[in-house]
Amino acid sequence: MATKALFVKLEAKPGQEDAVEEFLRSALPLVREEPDTYPWFAVRFDATTFGIIDAFPDESARKAHLDGAVGKALGERSEELFASAPEISPIDVLAEKL
């Protein structure tokens, strides 16, 4: 069961909306390599607001994900793609149905 999760809010820079969408789609193969990251969702709320919602069995898996390939790519491309720094909110899972 997932006990830990992340909600990441991303605000695209003007003109970078398509690039943010492609970045998020390209992250899926990287996340598939992480056996303790499940589920993982890349979402779009409106024209410029995107997000990532993912869950983990424990804190060590959440930390491994943050330190992993997607987290590094997010940091490397943050200034290029986003109007502000990604808002990363650690959250606890109270119940799940997958």
How many domains are contained in the chain? 1
Residue 30 belongs to domain spanning: 4-92
Tell whether the model's pLDDT for residue 5 goes beyond 90: yes
Residue 47: predicted pLDDT:
98
Distance CA 10, CA 49 (A): 6
Q: Reduce the DSSP state of residue 56 to 3 states and report it.
A: strand
Q: Is residue 97 part of a domain?
A: no
Q: Is residue 88 part of a domain?
A: yes
Q: Is residue 38 part of a domain?
A: yes
Q: Is residue 98 part of a domain?
A: no
DSSP state of 13: P
Per-residue pLDDT of 50-63, as tens digits, reads: 999 999 999 999 99
Tell whether the model's pLDDT for residue 8 goes beyond 90: yes
Give me the CATH number covering residue 73: 3.30.70.100
